Amino acid sequence: MDLELGSITADKLVRYAAVPITFTVRSVLVPRLVEGGLGGIQLAEQALSEPYLKDYDATQKPTDWPKRFDTQNWHFVLALSAGQAVGAAAVAVDTPGVHLLRGQRDLASLWDIRMAPQRRGQGIGSALFHYAADWARRRGCNLLQVETQNINVPACRFYRKMGCTLGTIDRYFYHGSACAHEICLLWYLPLASTA
């Protein structure tokens, strides 16, 4: 596969945003509390009788990120094949106002990762994930965090395949929003120190 990964600056996010992030939700991970949660939470995949389209960009486009956050510590990467953008990723670190980072300078968040629909399953996501993890490691971070939802089962499988561990299941994270029916899942990948 002819794939080139390269950094871009925030002023080039229009090109980044041209890679769609829409996918079809065909199943969800349904939580079952064991002993009211004291025994843990089990997730079981359940097929939907009526699949639907989910577009993360419908609520916040990449071109909006610099308007909402100070992205000077973020890293943006574009995946090109034959000169065409086929994937992209963004990593956020040390950013006041990004509550997922909890003010920890050694925590990186894989803020976004996307592949062109016709190019999914071709290793682009893996290349972007490893690029992002390596960048965060070089930046001095010792933990990479990824947020997704129980409606994105393929992403959950992907993060598990990349070596991440599910660390948080927050059933009320999106309470009061248009996504209140979704459950926040936070995945973590320890990053070995280079020191």
In a domain, 127, yes or no: yes
54-90 b/e (C-beta count within 10 Å ≥ 16 → b): bebbeeeebeebeeebebebbbbbbbbbeeebbbbbb
CB 93 within 8 A of CB 109: yes
Domain that holds residue 99: 4-190
Q: Which helix (H) or strand (E) holds 143?
A: strand 143-149
Residue reference for tokens 């990467």: 77
Q: Which two tokens stand for residue 57?
A: 């960009």
Residue whose token pair is 């953008």: 85
List, edge to edge, every strand of the sheet that includes 107-115: 4-8, 75-81, 84-93, 107-115, 143-149, 184-190, 165-170
- Give the integer Cα–Cα distance in Å for 37 and 129: 32
Q: How many domains does the chain have?
A: 1
Q: What is the pLDDT along the chain (195 residues), one digit of tens a residue?
A: 689 999 999 999 999 999 999 999 999 999 999 999 899 999 999 999 999 999 999 988 999 999 999 999 999 999 999 889 999 999 999 999 898 898 889 999 999 999 998 888 889 999 999 999 999 999 999 999 999 999 999 999 999 999 999 999 999 999 999 899 999 999 999 997 544
What's the whole-model pTM score? Answer: 0.92
195 lies in a domain?
no
Query: What is the CATH number for 11?
Result: 3.40.630.30
